[in-house]
Chain A
Amino acid sequence: MTKFARPTVWRRRRGPATLVQDMNASLTAARGRRGVPSAAFALVALLTLSACAEDKPLNTFEPRGPQAQMIDNLMTRIWVIMAIVFVLVVGGGIALAIKGRVKAEDFDYEDLPYQRHGNDKLEIGWTIAPAVLLAIICIPTVATIWKLEERNEPQELDVMVIGRQWWWEYRYDVDGDGFFQDANGDGVVDDKDIEWPLELALDNDDLSIANELVIPTGEQIDLVITSGDVIHSFWIPRLNGKRDAVPGRIHTWSLEADEPGKYNGWCTEYCGLSHARMRMSTIALSPADFETWYANQMLQAELPEAPAEGEVASPEWAGRQTFEQVCASCHVVDTPGFEYAENFVAPLTAKAAPNLTHFATRSVMAGAIFSQYSEDPTGRLIDADDDSFDVSNYLGLADEGRFNDAQLRRWISDAPSQKAMAAEDQRGMPAFPQLTDEDLTNLVAYLATLD
């Protein structure tokens, strides 16, 4: 398989026809167990199968890291207790209704049942018994709450996660002076000393990437979570539970992946217009691959060669010119000679757009809703499965010929038609009807060089 191979998953798209297949598969599986062909069993099997099916990239029952595993272990026992109580109470209620039923024609005013008013011992019993049961459940619950708060000391690599309307930014503290700076541009050690708003406090020397958080496997990565606008929530179900990204506050959280892979997530706190299209992934790379990735991200982007006197400009160079005129007021590409303007902030309410320095080392774009390498003509993100995971995407080895050109062009020329935006309120990316086909071709060619 060459590294340019198309992801194969897109063929596994599921439409209405597969709904029926799902159903049939589950029912067949249920019937396969002889002796219990009841509809109830089929239903239970259907539930179980669908809960365990492998093509659910956000499934909370498939822990792939120690934190998610811890939560799963805690709940395994509790699901059983809940199932027992469910059967006893709901089954008991239905049984009592059937057993005690008196038909209208048999109703007799004189035929009263025994008039029991209560039983104090019973009442005290069924007050204390569940209380004791819950007290027992409390112990591992509280223990797990605290375990999930354990952070590395000292921190090896920590990453800042910033929620934006409607994408995620990740910052790596490459110079080791914290994520923030004071008014003099010096690093701030204690988060409590920073002055909001966020954009003026952020350390502009840090590495900034978008949509996909890249981490090494087998190591707990501590996250510092905040937001640049409204509240979002960062959730990678197979690695850990969620934690809110609240503007004005710094929250910590941890992730660890056991195996390399792509772990999808979805913003889980309602954050306005395009909340449904604010997705993300965590890309776990082997430590060696991670080193390669990190080294590559640290490089600045090269400027395309300017045309010599009398020569026709290359599309990349022309694209760079268009980028500077149209895109650069919000998007940064870190190039030699590039200096952040003092207190650079984009003219957006969230004050930031994705940093595109290594755009071509990401497998998704636009808030992780489109694949950069998809063959799907609609451009939808469909590489949700693990087997779509292709390390070369992230290491700057991808070939520009693999770009999802059509979708990228649609996105640049008219983003609001692809994802609801409130560009008129400086939230999200506006449409650029002034861009010609040639401009778009040049821009795509330029973006493809950003690996």
Chain B
Amino acid sequence: MAIIEGEPLALPSGTPDDRPNPLGVFARPHNATGFKDWLTTVDHKKIGIMYGAAAMFFLILGGVSALLIRIQLATPNNTFLSADAYNQVFTMHGTIMVFLVVMPIGAAFANFLMPLQVGARDVAFPRINAFSFWVFLFGGLMLNTSWFLGGGADGGWFNYAPNNGIAYSPSSGIDFWNIGLLIAGIGSLTGAINLITTVLNMRAPGMSFMKMPVFVWMTLVTQFLLLFAIPVLTVAQVLLMLDRQFDSNFFNVEQGADPLLWQHLFWIFGHPEVYLMILPAFGIVSEIIPTFSRKPIFGYPFMVFSGVAIGFMGWGVWAHHMFVSGLGPLSVSAFSVATMFIAVPTGVKILNWLATMWGGKLTLNTAMLFSIGLVTQFTIGGLSGVSHAIAPSDTQQTDTYYIVAHFHYVLFGGALFGFVAGMYFWWPKAFGYKLGEKLGKWNFWGMVIGFNLTFGPMHILGLQGMPRRMQTYDDAMGLNLWNFVASVGSFILGVATLLVLVNAYLSSRKWKAAGRPDVGPDPWDGRTIEWSIQSPAPNHNFDVDPVVTSLDDFWHRKYAEDESGKIRRVATGAQLAQPGNGEGVHLPASSYWPIVLAASFPIIGYGIMFTLWLTIPGGLLLVLGLYGWSLEPADDLDLPHDHDDHADLAGVGASHD
């Protein structure tokens, strides 16, 4: 990828503005503040933060549904939730956690962090970025309006045919699931194209592929997975929509359909989905562990290529979700072997993290603890994964609580621990203050204990024969003890997870009370270039384009060998950091149209579900949104900058003038 050094990343600007102010119906919002600013922003950092906030909101919904499940299962033959309510709750729990919590937190980090790490001022298509977020949010909210409009989906997050058909699930819950996720998927797809383009085209001068931070690599792999996986789900969902709304027969067995079609489509999406949920977290801890071990990541090229290998191999293992579906021994053997070997690159990653810590001088702060939590807990999830990669063993384990334990160790003990680590690590870059360490430790230990108490016993329950998705169980099945323990654990886990938000609130209050002290650009002695700008990151990110000469570029500017060959600190981060007063930086202007366009989709969705008449106003809004988007003035007034003082830029970094 040819990036010419010295070429400005953003559009050339800084010319005296003598153009007429392009006002009119299609004008962009200028100088929007407060609420309006958030609704119309195209700034990748704000969009990233909104992704995070939305994910936290959905995390509470998903968490409450998890606790309802655990209350119901705490004792045998419990009647706290009816079978119908239970089926809705576990379906919505899985759906919310996968699509509306873990995926958007990944998107939050990718949006906020990746442009900073590649030295860009925004993503490649800023308006599409805003559109991606709004369409995800509206799809997610629409999905959750099902609670008030006849009940949630009751087919499980995997929603197998033909149980998802109108004959077996006549309520509109599955329509909300189907169309809500179909809409949210549009956001994932446009986001993927946007972020891939950003990584490929907008890296700072000098940042060749093998100088990209591991997180950027993992984002790239993740977005490619999304790009190819989401359309497969979309196809399945369109077929299901046609079946449910328009009486087609794609999944109607009576008309000769094979229900395994849905399973193949779903898992060709669903397995890459698993990796695209975990890889961003892998990227996050690959940044944190070196920083707090004060060593470079061990085996950088192996870390990168194992991530890429996981991305590729992730496409060849989907049928391990179908070992008991009746595929025949040849397919089962092939997928069993392929699935076992995907453990190899994953193992390489774990060993490299351990080797990075080996001989390091470790700062065990909250971010580092959560990272180590990921490494150890993900290992447990990986090992249980091997035990059901072995297909004969999987015939005993699949669809039992052993699987529930497995994927929670991967997605909660792995992905979510990684994301919380990332929140503690990059919080100062986003908001200008650190999260409290003392509460952070409570947060960590509470989550470790609660998590293992909740999901550890599920291994035993599964091996003792408790299937998944069971509204209740009988006394004589001998499952009482561990279900009770898991339920107790889940409440500890729930409270401990909430401490992230409590910590954010209390730390913010403390910081404001202290008069908003500057946390400094580089509070952790960081390694990558996002630490070379002020905290919180200024609107325009980089005053001048950073020029990258090595992996961990910022660290190498702070530390260098002296005459004796010993590595010494030659400058502090604060000394090297850009002051944050860029001038003449052209930033993409805010826009009304992403949110307008996104709002048309749920209207059309409700129309398809309830009355086709509603698709007319929805369709009109869609057309209006597209026209508004296209006719919006392409060139307009620059957003105001933090400062207009250009003088102190001289000699800092490379100038693009």
Tell whether, in the assembled complex, residue B362 and residue A100 are in contact, meaning their CB atoms are under 8 Å apart. Answer: yes
Number of A residues, CB within 8 Å of B: 115
**Residues of chain A in range 99-136 having any CB-CB distance to chain B below 8 Å:** 100-102, 104, 107, 109-120, 122-123, 126-127, 130-131, 134
Tell whether, in the assembled complex, residue B396 and residue A231 are in contact, meaning their CB atoms are under 8 Å apart. Answer: no
Contact flag A127-B375 (CB < 8 Å), given A50-B482, A60-B397, A109-B569: no
The distance from the CB of A212 to the nearest CB of chain B, in whole angstroms, is 16
Interface membership of chain B positions 378-404, coded 1 if the CB is closer than 8 angstroms to chain A and 0 otherwise = 011001101100111111111110000
Tell whether, in the assembled complex, residue B82 and residue A19 are in contact, meaning their CB atoms are under 8 Å apart. Answer: no
- Give CA–CA (A351, B348) in the complex, Å: 53
Q: A112 — which chain B residues lie within 8 A by C-beta?
A: 294, 361, 559, 567
Q: A425 — which chain B residues lie within 8 A by C-beta?
A: 167, 170
- Closest residue of chain A to B257 (Cβ to Cβ) is A248
A363 CB-CB contact with B under 8 Å: no
B260 CB-CB contact with A under 8 Å: yes
The distance from the CB of B309 to the nearest CB of chain A, in whole angstroms, is 10
Q: B471 — which chain A residues lie within 8 A by C-beta?
A: 275-277, 420
The distance from the CB of B207 to the nearest CB of chain A, in whole angstroms, is 18
The distance from the CB of A224 to the nearest CB of chain B, in whole angstroms, is 11
**Residues of chain A in range 267-288 having any CB-CB distance to chain B below 8 Å:** 267-277
Which one of B83, B301, B478 has the greatest number of beta carbons of chain A within 10 Å? Answer: B478
- Give CA–CA (A439, B95) in the complex, Å: 47
Q: A272 — which chain B residues lie within 8 A by C-beta?
A: 87, 154, 163, 168-169
Q: B478 — which chain A residues lie within 8 A by C-beta?
A: 14, 53, 55-57, 59, 384
Tell whether, in the assembled complex, residue A144 and residue B357 are in contact, meaning their CB atoms are under 8 Å apart. Answer: no
Tell whether, in the assembled complex, residue B299 and residue A248 are in contact, meaning their CB atoms are under 8 Å apart. Answer: no
- Give CA–CA (A22, B155) in the complex, Å: 35
Q: B28-36, B42-50, B334-342: which lies at the A interface?
A: B334-342
Contact flag A90-B380 (CB < 8 Å), given A109-B569, A116-B295: yes
- Give CA–CA (A196, B257) in the complex, Å: 10
The distance from the CB of B520 to the nearest CB of chain A, in whole angstroms, is 14
A148 CB-CB contact with B under 8 Å: yes
Q: B376 — which chain A residues lie within 8 A by C-beta?
A: 89-90, 93-94
Q: B567 — which chain A residues lie within 8 A by C-beta?
A: 112, 115
Tell whether, in the assembled complex, residue A420 and residue B83 are in contact, meaning their CB atoms are under 8 Å apart. Answer: yes
B347 CB-CB contact with A under 8 Å: yes
**Residues of chain B in range 454-483 having any CB-CB distance to chain A below 8 Å:** 460, 463-482
Tell whether, in the assembled complex, residue B475 and residue A241 are in contact, meaning their CB atoms are under 8 Å apart. Answer: no
Contact flag A383-B354 (CB < 8 Å), given A19-B481, A269-B399: no
Contact flag A126-B347 (CB < 8 Å), given A237-B396, A246-B259, A349-B168: yes
B14 CB-CB contact with A under 8 Å: no
Contact flag A197-B362 (CB < 8 Å), given A56-B478, A92-B354, A127-B348: no
B525 CB-CB contact with A under 8 Å: yes
The distance from the CB of A25 to the nearest CB of chain B, in whole angstroms, is 11
Tell whether, in the assembled complex, residue A276 and residue B470 are in contact, meaning their CB atoms are under 8 Å apart. Answer: yes
Tell whether, in the assembled complex, residue B464 and residue A58 are in contact, meaning their CB atoms are under 8 Å apart. Answer: yes
Tell whether, in the assembled complex, residue A241 and residue B476 are in contact, meaning their CB atoms are under 8 Å apart. Answer: no
B326 CB-CB contact with A under 8 Å: yes
The distance from the CB of A74 to the nearest CB of chain B, in whole angstroms, is 6
**Residues of chain A in range 164-206 having any CB-CB distance to chain B below 8 Å:** 165, 196-197
Q: A78 — which chain B residues lie within 8 A by C-beta?
A: 386-387, 390, 393
- Give CA–CA (A68, B254) in the complex, Å: 35
Tell whether, in the assembled complex, residue A97 and residue B362 are in contact, meaning their CB atoms are under 8 Å apart. Answer: yes
The distance from the CB of B86 to the nearest CB of chain A, in whole angstroms, is 8
**Residues of chain A in range 207-243 having any CB-CB distance to chain B below 8 Å:** 225, 229-231, 233, 235, 237, 240-243
A sample of 4 more A-B contacts (CB under 8 A), given A271-B163, A277-B83, is A275-B470, A369-B474, A384-B478, A425-B170
List 24 A-B residue pairs with CB atoms under 8 Å apart, sorted by A's residue number.
A50-B481, A82-B386, A86-B379, A90-B380, A96-B354, A97-B362, A100-B362, A104-B363, A112-B294, A112-B361, A116-B359, A131-B341, A134-B344, A134-B386, A141-B333, A148-B395, A196-B253, A241-B324, A246-B259, A273-B84, A277-B471, A381-B476, A382-B475, A427-B168
Interface on B for A, CB 8 Å cutoff?
75, 77, 82-84, 86-87, 154-156, 160, 162-163, 167-170, 253-254, 256-260, 293-296, 298-302, 324-326, 329, 332-333, 336-337, 340-341, 343-344, 347-348, 350-352, 354-355, 357-364, 372, 375-376, 379-380, 383-384, 386-387, 390-400, 460, 463-482, 484, 525, 559, 567-569
